[in-house]
Copies of this chain bind each other. A is one copy, B any other.
Amino acid sequence: MAAPSKKLKKADSTAHPELEPKDFDEDTQKALEEIDSCQNEIEALNEQASEEILRVEQRFNRQRKPHFERRANIICKVPHFWTTAFTNHPDLNSLLEEPEEDCFNFLTVIDVEEFEDIKSGYRLKFYFTENPYFENPVLTKEFQLGNSGAPTSSSIPIRWKEDMDLTHTNEPTCTRTGRKRQLDQRSFFTWYNDHSDPTSDSIAEIIKDDLWHNPLQYFLIPDVDVGNGIDDDEEGEDVNS
């Protein structure tokens, strides 16, 4: 559900005269002031609660960090770990066609850094070893979702090696219609460069909240249809969910 609108549209003043304090009798005016004072106390408690919860989340983020670091060091030892996890993931596998799969075999570490206050944004980092595709040792896509200004995302530009730019080679190989076709044209690298809708980047959220949280389950258990160009019904549902 969308958050209810908070905009305070100025209504037609003859149809809906604004209810100024002077419109109320003395008892009502006093009651409204007391309600307002209750609201202020409730609001102060809400803010205290938010701050305490933030501190709990920050503390547990710190406690989880060494485990994620240890995990990253082990994952490096497993051949094709991230390629396999991505291609087994029902919502991520369409991002990798053959050239991206090959490129992902050079991906060693995925790291998710939440900003210190958590709610203002996060950063996805993809570490690659020396590879035939680009020069960058790390690709970073960052989401600034904080209170100041409109939400944005940005990513470090990819320094492609000559003739190796994968955003130019990923043409769809079979004809599909409408929405489905648009989704399939998106690859990992077109997603990486896409900053059109930072507040609802579902790929980023899946990487942050699902894949990174427990990639082993996707490495071990295939849950995808074969890429044979024939789509089953379930992929269609994903689009609308």
Q: How many residues of A contact B (CB 8 A)?
A: 69
> Do A2 and B241 touch across chains, with their CB atoms under 8 A apart?
yes
> Do B214 and A38 touch across chains, with their CB atoms under 8 A apart?
no
> Do B39 and A71 touch across chains, with their CB atoms under 8 A apart?
yes
Quick one: given A35-B74, A42-B64, A77-B27, are A1 and B57 in contact (CB under 8 Å)?
no
Q: Give complex CA distance A1, B9 in Å.
A: 29
Stoichiometry, copies per complex: 2
> Do A9 and B223 touch across chains, with their CB atoms under 8 A apart?
yes
Which chain B residues border A52 with CB–CB below 8 Å?
56, 60
- Contact of A103 with B by CB under 8 A: no
A241 to chain B minimum Cβ distance, whole angstroms, is 4
Which chain B residues border A12 with CB–CB below 8 Å?
226
Q: Which residue from chain B places its CB closest to the CB of A51 in the assembled complex?
A: B56
> Do A200 and B1 touch across chains, with their CB atoms under 8 A apart?
yes
Interface CB pairs A-B, < 8 A, 16: A4-B206, A4-B209, A4-B210, A8-B221, A9-B234, A11-B222, A11-B223, A16-B222, A18-B222, A31-B75, A35-B74, A35-B75, A35-B78, A42-B67, A45-B64, A49-B57
